[in-house]
Structure 1
């Protein structure tokens, strides 16, 4: 491996340990370090890669940094990039789940988490506002956002979300003639990674249906969710809540919100939250089972997006010339923002509806909106207040 690759991986580790604030903040830091300072890619290349990853299911910033690794050093460097990027946050979330399990086994109250639970709702509400302000620019987008928010709120089946995304994309794709036509389109597709992506999905689904093995079923659950999530970690949250809290009851709403609040205080990808969920889902199987749960959940959620970015990056330059592809992005983005609005409301349900809790949600939203206080400082302050009060 060349010295340039080692320096790049060191930079990826630096980002994994310092990139707080979700995909938008991650991309800003990538511009600063990977473009302005190191010049691994040009500014235009990073903008285009991020646009590509925004229309693929999976974790946007994870796919973007993996794609940069791919452009620099091919598949091997890309896989190392992926591992270094996700390992710190996923490991910390596994430890956090173990700590919560231990405290519960010892009969120690989790009451100290009571402040960061409504804070987590404030984070989702802020994400809903930020996403909506960036992607809602037409009356059609407003209508799609409102309809998707209502449907996502009242119909919490995991299959509702991908159906809404497809429908939203189809609605705006019909208006493709509003986009300028580009010439010289020569689309040549290498199908290997897509076939691998579908094969793993099918095998996992079959094994999940015919086995009682919880790790296998967890892998299938997370692989399916990772295959269906457009829009990053904020859109993933309602999917995970409806499946693992409402339907399967692997963890309580309070545990879910506590874990989500903790992941907001960490650098790296929001998708690492799945390490926490997988861990608690396997708590009946002891320490080894919980660590296995974290592993299968993390691999399951990140693998589909990895297969897909490896598949699409090879013909992205040609694909983006098609007007239908560009037009469908508006609908997909609008529906995604509607889902995050619904998530903010749904996540408030398991919290006791008191003036104090509602005030914490509003205060968190306002602090994120009107100040530059970093998210980790807010969460750590909430934990400290939970201990003291």
Structure 2
């Protein structure tokens, strides 16, 4: 029995209110809710859906939710799943952007922000270590990650990042194209091929044609274009989007490095997708608060995910078994680790670590989060308080 659009929206809204822990945790929440509890899809179909979303650029957990919503109520169901799951964290991040300029100059607030930035050092370090272990298991991928980091540090530009991703795809294909791939376990297809073609064309138009119409980067269309490009070219979502967004929006007249790190830290503490960092960055772009920029950033960063999914849905059971595509993504994933390593140095470390005391506090944050498993929802207020007392 198919669900109503409202039911899809409601189930995902409830999840969006308590789904802490990042994309990996979200995928666990989805399985418990929609496979075990409600039986909206089988365990095998869910695993295949997750595999497809991991292969496409964009936020994997949000894409998984969109796919579940589409399978239950069509395109409107996919939109309802996206809105429900994203709404709580997006509202929180927009409100944070609204109040950021008013408090960022106050000494007490600056202390709080410094504590949060030190926590961000630990968060990105943990993500970097874990991603390195899983995505760079051999010498070719370790080498690719280090080379990518070096290029990004020496030539810090968004086009450098695009070139790294494309080059890594070619290298991944050449090195891993003969790896065996598991045979398909499902022949299910969802969506029409005509609709898929239209969405695929729209995705490419947004990536290649939209920039031709941007005459002013500090406009609603310019903001949408910047965040669209970030959402379209980042594999894995979550922490992986950090270097792309940093290259796109952190510059004079854009988002300050301090605001970028504060927003990234806050995105760890709210439920729902980490891509809701985007409305905070859009809202603070250029100094002051701009709601239209915040909304442009929010929809810009998620639009590529929806269009790509709609283009892939009719072919997903075939896509997940393509060895050449998987080989290319092996290279891309390794390069992503290198890009995150470069972003860990700049802006995370360079704008958070000032002295030995900052190093000690960042190490403490890593110890509490990784070894003692303190929840992120507790860590953010804890280090905000430490920053308030010490700075």
TM-score by structure 1 length? 0.91
* Residue in 2 that maps onto 1:195: 201
What secondary structure is seen at the aligned counterpart in 1 of 2:158?
Answer: coil
| Structure 2 CA distance for aligned equivalents of residues 364 and 67 of structure 1 | 36
Alignment of 1:81-160 (within 5 A): 81-104=81-104, 109-160=109-160
Structure 1 CA distance, aligned partners of 2:49 and 2:181? 21
Q: CA deviation at 1:282?
A: 4.9
CA separation in 1, counterparts of 2:181 and 2:217? Answer: 53
Q: Is the contact made by 1:282 and 1:293 (CA closer than 8 Å) also made in structure 2?
A: no
- Aligned counterparts of 1:137 and 1:283: Cα–Cα separation in 2: 42
Contact 2:111-2:384 at 8 Å conserved across structures: no
Answer yes or no: is the 8 Å Cα contact 1:196–1:307 preserved in 2: yes
Provide structure 1 residue ranges, at least 5 long, that are not aligned to the other structure: none
Q: Give the drift of 1:107.
A: 8.6
Are 1:22 and 2:18 matched, yes or no? no
- TM-superposed CA distance for 1:212, in Å, is 6.8
Task: Determine the C-alpha separation between the residues in 1 that align with 2:150 and 2:210.
Answer: 31
Moved more, 42-51 or 211-220: 211-220
Structure-2 residue corresponding to 1:220: 225
Between the aligned partners of 1:105 and 1:384, the Cα distance in structure 2 is 17
Count of residues in Structure 1 that have an aligned counterpart in Structure 2: 383
| 2:47 aligned partner | 47
Normalising by the residue count of structure 2, what TM-score does the alignment of the two structures yield? 0.90
Work out whether residues 181 and 322 of structure 1, in 8 Å CA contact, stay in contact via their aligned partners in 2.
Answer: no
Match of 2:282 in 1: 278
Q: 1:205: which partner in 2?
A: 211
Distance 1:212 1:7 in 2: 39
8 Å CA contact 2:217, 2:223 repeated in 1: no
Q: Structure 1 residue 272: deviation in Å?
A: 0.5
Q: Distance in 2 between matches of 1:214 and 1:60?
A: 29
Aligned to 1:384: 385
1:344 pairs with 2:344: yes
C-alpha change, 1:181 and 1:94, in structure 2 (3 Å) is: closer
What SS is found at the alignment partner of 2:351?
coil
Residues in 1 aligned to 2:263 and 2:137: alpha-carbon distance in whole angstroms: 33
Gapped regions of structure 2 (runs ≥ 5): none
Contact kept? 1:162, 1:229, Cα under 8 Å = no
Say if 2:224 and 2:296, in contact at 8 Å, map to a contact too.
yes
Check 1:180–1:352 CA distance in 2 against 1; reply closer, same or farther (3 A cut).
Answer: closer
Decide whether the 8 Å contact of 2:118 with 2:353 is kept in 1.
no
Q: Give the Cα–Cα distance (whole angstroms) in 1 for the partners of residues 326 and 244 of structure 2.
A: 26
